Structure 1
Amino acid sequence: MYTLLLLLVVQGSGSSFSDREYQGFSDFLDGVISCRGVTGGVLTLVKDERVVLTKSFGYYDLERRRKATVNTRFFIGSLTKAFTSAVIAKLLAEHPSYTWDTPIAHILGPSFRLANDLLSKSVNLRDVLAHKVGVPSNFSPLLVGFPENTTREDFVRHEPLYPLRTKFVYSNYMYVLAGFVAEKMGGKPWETLVKELLFEPLGMRDSGFVSDVKNFTQYPSAFAYVDGRLERVDQNLLFSVLPGGPAGSIYTTADDMNKWMNFNLGNGSISNGSVVIPDKYFTELHKEQMSSPFSKNNLYKPVYPVSDMTLSYCLGWVSSVYRGYRKIWHSGGIAGYSSLLWLFPDLKAGVFVTITGAKDNQYRPSLYTIASQASDLLLGNTPWLNESTSCTFPAPWKDLKSIQHGNPQKPHPELYWNITVSQTTYAGLYGHLAFGNMTITSDGDGILLNYGRFGRLRLLPINEQLFLGYFLDSLSFTTNSDGNTEPLVIDFKFNALGAVESIEFPVDLSVPQKTSFKRIDKFRSRYTRNYSVMTKAEGRGVGTFLSVTAAWCLFH
Structure 2
Amino acid sequence: MPYYVPSVPAAPRAAGPHRQDLQNRLDALAETYGVPGAQLVLTTGTGTVSLHTGIADAATGTPFTPDTAVALGSLTKPYTAALVLLLVDDGDLDLDEPVADHLPALRGLPEVTIRHLLSHTGGLPTGPDSDTAAATNGTRYLTSLCTSDQALFPPGTDFSYSNAGYVAAGLLVEEITGMPWHEAVRALLLEPLGTSAAFIGDSTVSRPWAAGHALNTATGRVRPVQQNLASLEAPAGALMASAADLAAFGSALIGRSHVLPPAVAKGMLRAEHGARPGALADGWGLGVAQYRQGDDLWCGHDGNAQGTSCHLRVDPASGVVVAFTGNAGGATALWRELAAELRDLADVHVPAGPAPAGDRGRPVLLPECWGAYRNGGADYRVSAGPDGSPVLSIDGDLSLPLVCYADLSYDLVDPATGRREPGGRFHRDPATGRIDRVQVSGRTARRTADG
How do 1:20-35 residues align onto structure 2 when only pairs under 5 Å count? 21-35=18-32
Tell me, in whole angstroms, the C-alpha distance in 2 between the residues paired with 1:179 and 1:379.
38
Q: By how many angstroms is 1:188 displaced?
A: 1.2
The equivalent of 1:65 in structure 2 is 61
One-letter amino acid of the structure 2 residue matched with residue 47 of structure 1: T
Letter of the aligned partner of 2:72 in structure 1?
A: I
Q: Which amino acid aligns with 1:171?
A: S
- 1:36 and 1:251 mapped to 2: Cα distance? 22
Aligned partners of 1:228 and 1:290: how far apart in 2?
46
2:223 corresponds to which of 215, 227, 232: 232
**What is the Cα deviation at residue 189 of structure 1?**
1.1
The reply to whether residue 351 of structure 1 matches residue 322 of structure 2 is yes
Q: Equivalent residue of 2:310, what SS?
A: strand
Equivalent position of 2:13 in the other structure: 12
Say whether the 8 Å CA contact 1:39–1:357 is kept in structure 2. Answer: yes
Q: 1:3 to 1:226 in 2, by over 3 A?
A: closer
Q: Aligned pair in 2 of structure 1 residues 188, 217: CA closer, same or farther (>3 Å)?
A: closer
Aligned to 1:328: 299
Mapping 1:318-397, distance limit 5 Å: 318-358=289-329, 361=330, 363-374=331-342, 377-379=345-347
Q: Return the offset for 1:364.
A: 2.5
1:155 aligns with 2:156: no
Task: Quote the residue 2:162 is aligned against.
Answer: 171
Report the CA distance between 1:46 and its aligned residue. Answer: 1.3
Unaligned runs of 5+ in 2: 357-375, 378-394, 399-414, 417-439
Structure 2 CA distance for aligned equivalents of residues 208 and 326 of structure 1:
31
**Correspondence for 2:267:** 284
What SS class does the counterpart of residue 282 from structure 2 fall into?
strand
* Aligned-partner SS, 1:243: helix
Query: What per-residue deviation string (whole Å, max 9, x for no partner) do you get for residues 58-95 of structure 1?
Result: 11122332211112111111111110111011111222
Aligned equivalent of 2:131 = 144
Query: Residue 127 of structure 1 corresponds to which residue in structure 2?
Result: 116
Q: Is the 8 A contact 1:353 1:371 kept in 2?
A: no
What residue identity is the alignment partner of 1:80? T
Cα 1:161–1:44 change in 2 (3 A) is same
Asked whether 1:246 is paired with 2:235, we answer yes
Give the partner amino acid of 1:167: D
Measured after TM superposition, the shift of residue 330 of structure 1 is 0.6
Residue 199 of structure 1 corresponds to 190
- Secondary structure at 2:339 match in 1: helix
Cα deviation for residue 469 of structure 1 reads 7.1
Question: Contact 2:42–2:323 (CA<8 Å) still a contact in 1?
Answer: yes
Partners in 2 of 1:380 and 1:142 — Cα distance?
37
- After superposition, the C-alpha distances for 1:150-184 in whole angstroms (9 at most, x for unaligned) are 43233223222222222210001101101111111
Q: CA deviation at 1:2?
A: 4.2
Change (3 A) 1:513 1:123: closer
Instruction: Select 2:278's aligned residue among 295, 320, 341.
Output: 295
CA distance in 2 between counterparts of 1:3 and 1:77 reads 23
Call closer, same or farther: CA 1:468–1:343 in 2, change over 3 Å. Answer: closer
Counterpart of 1:418 in structure 2 is: none
Gaps of 5+ in 1: 298-309, 386-393, 395-433, 436-466, 471-481, 484-507, 516-556
Say if 1:130 and 1:373 are closer, same or farther in 2 by CA, change over 3 A: same
Offset, 1:332: 0.1
Measured in 1, the distance between the counterparts of 2:41 and 2:7 equals 13
Secondary structure at 1:182's aligned position in 2? helix
Q: How many residues align?
A: 365
Which stretches of structure 1, 4 residues or more, deviate above 6 A after TM superposition?
467-470, 508-515
Secondary structure of the structure 1 residue equivalent to 2:65 = coil
Matched ranges for 1:392-407 at <5 A: none
Q: 1:314 aligns with which of 259, 262, 285?
A: 285
**Partner of residue 366, structure 2:** none
Offset of 1:313 from its aligned partner? 0.8
Q: Is the Cα contact below 8 Å between 1:327 and 1:344 reproduced in 2?
A: yes
Give CA deviations for 1:289-341 in whole Å, capped at 9, x if unaligned: 155645336xxxxxxxxxxxx43111111112124322001100111111011
Aligned to 2:106: 113
- C-alpha distance in 2 between matches for 1:320 and 1:468: 32
RMSD after superposition: 3.5
Query: Partner amino acid for 2:163?
Result: N
CA offset at residue 228 of structure 1?
A: 2.6
Q: One-letter code of the match for 1:210?
A: I
Q: CA deviation at 1:203?
A: 1.6
SS at match of 1:153: helix
Q: CA deviation at 1:514?
A: 10
Q: Is the 8 A contact 1:89 1:277 kept in 2?
A: no
Retained in 1: the 8 A contact 2:121–2:274?
Answer: no
TM-score by length of structure 1 reads 0.59
Which residue of structure 2 lines up, in the alignment, with residue 410 of structure 1? none
Which residue does the alignment assign to 2:436?
A: none
Per-residue deviation, 1:100: 1.1
Distance 1:384 1:23 in 2: 22
SS in 1 for 2:271: coil
**Residue type matched to 1:371 in 2?**
A
Aligned partner of 2:40 in structure 1 is 43
Aligned to 1:354, the other structure's residue is in SS state strand
- Alpha-carbon offset, residue 244 of structure 1: 0.7
The aligned amino acid for 2:97 is: T
